[in-house]
Structure 1
Amino acid sequence: MYTKKELDEQFPTETFCALPWMHLSTRPNGHMRVCCTANASGVAVNAESTNKTKSDAGILKRDDGKPANLATTGLLESWNNEYMKGVRRQMLAGEKPASCIKCFKEEEAGHRSKRQWETRKWIQDAGGIDEIIRGTQEDGTVDPRIRYIDLRLGSKCQLACVMCSPHDSSGWVKEHKQIHPHLVNPKLKQTMQWEKETGKLAWTGGSYNWHKKSPTFWDELYSQLPHLRQLYWAGGESLIMDEHYTLLEKIIEDGLAKDIELRYNSNGLEWREDLFDLWKEFRNVIFHFSIDDIEQRNHFIRYPSPWPEVVEQIKKLDNYPHGNLELTTAWTCIALNIYYLPEFIKWKVQEGFKLLNRWPSGAGLFSCHLAYWPPQLNVKVLPEWFKKDVRQKCEDELFPWLEKNWKDCTGVTERQVSYDTWRQSEYGIPRMQGLLNFMDADDWSTRLPETAEWCYTVADKRFIDFNETFPDYDWLEWYK
């Protein structure tokens, strides 16, 4: 096992990331990406961006400039296309690919980026950096040995989260058709347009049924299973997709499950009754449970998830009996919930979970990620005076409370963690400080009229009193 310092010393350059050598990520529409956060990089540096899909940052391109889409392009055909080779060359030269700006922006704010933690993980798992980059040719070509794939088989999902859209959730389709035509703010209207309605989806050859249309995908994926070490499931909602279970059964049947780690981002609201029996066959399972607040605020953000059912499902997972599950939160940091972070953390600690972010995961607290899109819900949109309130609430209320109750963090007492070790964990208070620093790094408050229109429009459509649900945000009415 390498230490953190030894892992960092193995990075060939300061901009290196292991993923382009071993990983491909899919979008629900079939587009292939460098990784799951790459296509947010076009948004990360531009407060005025209104169209994430137009920039196509991080999306693999064919030679004709169109996105490499699995409905029309082979999985392995894209592995060494000019786009992927170019990203590898840039990283080995110490340059920052445009598709990776999101990670570098997070690192500047003191937040541990996907580039950093993924590269450390895979150097550790591979037994050293040489095993990852060996055989890389001068032009960036590497043999196709896909160790890690992010698989998104369409947009089927039963939720319509406030920061989501029909791009990623079929649960949004009906309401989008009802809401979008009546949006007034032109920037908001453009931001929230749907690629299927603009014609772009058809132009790119994409489809939310790409996995059913592709003549080669499944054969090519099956050919890579002996190399596979992590299978990541996310968006729409994999646990309600038949293909998810079929692939797990295929891996088990082929005798490969003990070498493969399953990873999920999931709302966790429903699954097939034999799921745990399938999971126990795999090396291990990492389950990131999507939960962004408590009670009615979570219901609004992850609509229409009922809070009692959310808690019940988490507790089912928390009592998983087979010993190979790492359970974490997937708390999405947006403008609407960062003020209530203290309430969420206190709830999590006081619930007495056994597995949920058990030390060292999230320092026994929580796991989180930043939402860049849609921009009207990015934490940077908050006005300066409210950002100060958010920071003060964390520094004066949450952090002292944690200092007092640190032993109650999941697994800390059980694993005899010292105070100094807990306090210095980069996943605990330092990570929350990174969220605050990211919030303060840029001023996007010119977009607050979009925030107000979106939040109140969605709330009204769903017969929810926004000010009652988010009483500390009633000032948003000023921007309507």
Structure 2
Amino acid sequence: MNTEYGHPLLKPYNINNMSLSDAHKSEFWNKLRSDMLEGKTIPGCHKCDRDDKLGQKFSMRTNANKEWNGLNQGMPIPSNKDPKIKYFELTTGRYCNLKCRTCSSDLSITWESDDKAIKGLYKDSLSSSPRNEYSHLPKILNLDIDPEDFQKAQLIKLTGGEPMIAPTFIPFIDTIIDSGYAKNIILEIYTNTSWVPKDKILSRLKQFRFVKIFLSIDGVGKINDYIRGPSEWNTVNESAETWIKFSKENKTFSIVFSPTISLYNILNLPDMINWWDKLQTKYFSNNFVLFASEGEKEAIVNTSFIFNVGRFSPTMLQTPTYLSASLLPDKTEVIEKIKNFTIEKTEWALSVDEIKYAERFRYVMKRIVGALEQKPVDNLETFINFTCDLDKLRDQNLQTTIPELWNQIKDKVKYEGRL
């Protein structure tokens, strides 16, 4: 935990002041676990609370609990009296080469100049203060963790920034490999696919029990370049294909398409899935997009925390609220299109396994529809002003890049901005 992020309650538990093991056994974390067992509301669980209220319970928490209980490891269990950390979620910091429109400078250093330009002009309806800039925060976070803390680890999730280009990534991975525990650990890594993986990375990752790579891609072609600048689609496509080809040759790898769904790309969702399906079937059988790999099926045995998402794991944008897909004015047509598309993609399922994964896909798509149908908590005027300001700063144009969206909103807003 990093005091640079200014949470006074957590300052005593900074990794510079207390070992990870001691922090885990501290009074604060013991009380947190006790409150959870008693069913008390935990402020930090607000995102999963919100996800579960969409009607179909598919939050990270719900799925983790299903995996845990599915292995007959009901809680509390005796080992919880002396808990060992089995699941780590770590970030490499703000070190990132992209400035995705749905992000900000608190997660990417490349966003800093734009956030300085629009500082104070926009306010998320769920936030108590206007949009800020975060250039004062550390670019790279310390991952110098005692190797023995990974003794019982089953799963490590790494996010960024862009984790695998951060200077601390390879030393961190080497530390785990040198400890001898890598063979017991499943890695989950989120990447922006703005670069093509080389042996320097791949040879190290191969030493882990299993590796799941989540590809953060929010559009196809020029829509990707618009939302996730300054990435270039040709490189993104090559990166995705390189990862898929590598997973074909190495059964301990699974590659997952993980777009963030916002107002920018909701109308193009079927196109994104069709691109992914086509890329998968180039190396695997038809409908592989819905299946876990054989290596993944083996890896998840006796592993409590795996969230088995198959090959497609979208995230509905939570913040900023003024970019939410729920702001779409005419939802009827796209909802019908998504529902028909879902039927088309799953009607082939016959076997028990096929039905299982087809059902998972239907649940995921139903969750997207549910989020789309939510009453918006922000307004289109803020969306278009923010979009127009970024268009000016980045020499881009919503009207020509995503005309399907512009045609829906052009009579309802003025393309002006606040700068």
TM-score above 0.5 = yes
Q: Which amino acid counterpart does residue 245 of structure 2 have in structure 1? A: N
Matching residue of 2:164 = 239
Match of 1:461 among 362, 381, 393: 393
Q: What SS is found at the alignment partner of 1:304?
A: coil
Mapped contact 2:322–2:380 kept (Cα < 8 A): yes
Q: Which amino acid counterpart does residue 374 of structure 1 have in structure 2? A: P
Q: Which amino acid counterpart does residue 304 of structure 1 have in structure 2? A: P
Mapped contact 1:260–1:284 kept (Cα < 8 A): yes
Q: Does 1:354 align with 2:279?
A: no
Matching residue of 1:447 = 379
Q: Which amino acid counterpart does residue 187 of structure 2 have in structure 1? A: L
Matching residue of 1:116 = 62
Match of 2:345 among 380, 396, 402: 402
Q: Does 1:155 align with 2:103?
A: no
Matching residue of 1:276 = 202
Cα 1:107/1:333, change in 2 over 3 Å: same
In 2: Cα distance, 1:434 partner to 1:122 partner: 22
How much has 1:161 moved relative to structure 2? 0.5
Structure 1 segment 416-435 matched on structure 2, within 5 A: 418=351, 421-422=354-355, 425-435=358-368
Mapped contact 2:256–2:310 kept (Cα < 8 A): no
Matching residue of 1:329 = 257
Q: Deviations over 1:166-189 (max 9, x none)?
A: 101111123322x315x7456699
Q: Which amino acid counterpart does residue 20 of structure 2 have in structure 1? A: L
Mapped contact 1:317–1:327 kept (Cα < 8 A): yes
In 2: Cα distance, 1:424 partner to 1:284 partner: 20
How much has 1:420 moved relative to structure 2? 8.6
- TM-score, normalised by the number of residues in structure 1: 0.72
Match of 1:391 among 324, 328, 335: 335
- TM-score, normalised by the number of residues in structure 2: 0.81
Q: Does 1:96 align with 2:41?
A: yes
Q: What SS is found at the alignment partner of 1:168?
A: coil
Cα 1:262/1:71, change in 2 over 3 Å: same
Match of 1:145 among 60, 78, 84: 84
In 2: Cα distance, 1:231 partner to 1:318 partner: 21
How much has 1:246 moved relative to structure 2? 1.3
Mapped contact 1:363–1:425 kept (Cα < 8 A): no
Task: State the aligned residue count.
Answer: 388
How much has 1:102 moved relative to structure 2? 2.0
Matching residue of 1:308 = 234
How much has 1:470 moved relative to structure 2? 1.3
How much has 1:154 moved relative to structure 2? 1.9
In 2: Cα distance, 1:364 partner to 1:89 partner: 33
In 1: Cα distance, 2:141 partner to 2:74 partner: 34
Cα 1:425/1:387, change in 2 over 3 Å: same
Q: Which amino acid counterpart does residue 180 of structure 1 have in structure 2? A: I
In 2: Cα distance, 1:67 partner to 1:432 partner: 42
Mapped contact 1:327–1:357 kept (Cα < 8 A): no
Q: Which amino acid counterpart does residue 312 of structure 2 have in structure 1? A: F
Q: Which amino acid counterpart does residue 294 of structure 1 have in structure 2? A: V
Q: What SS is found at the alignment partner of 1:262?
A: strand
How much has 1:96 moved relative to structure 2? 2.7
Structure 2 segments unaligned to the other structure (5+ residues):
294-307, 415-419
Q: What SS is found at the alignment partner of 2:212?
A: strand
How much has 1:104 moved relative to structure 2? 2.5
How much has 1:264 moved relative to structure 2? 0.4
Matching residue of 2:78 = 134
Q: What SS is found at the alignment partner of 2:85?
A: coil
How much has 1:376 moved relative to structure 2? 1.1
Mapped contact 2:316–2:371 kept (Cα < 8 A): no
Mapped contact 2:98–2:110 kept (Cα < 8 A): yes
In 1: Cα distance, 2:236 partner to 2:154 partner: 30
Q: Does 1:470 align with 2:416?
A: no
Mapped contact 2:97–2:109 kept (Cα < 8 A): yes
Matching residue of 2:50 = 105
Cα 1:90/1:381, change in 2 over 3 Å: farther
Q: Deviations over 1:324-346 (max 9, x none)?
A: 10110111121221221111122
Structure 1 segment 52-67 matched on structure 2, within 5 A: 61-62=9-10
Q: What SS is found at the alignment partner of 1:393?
A: helix
Percent sequence identity is 22
In 1: Cα distance, 2:339 partner to 2:59 partner: 23
In 2: Cα distance, 1:60 partner to 1:76 partner: 20
Q: Give me the CA root mean square deviation.
A: 3.1
Q: Which amino acid counterpart does residue 269 of structure 2 have in structure 1? A: L
How much has 1:149 moved relative to structure 2? 1.1
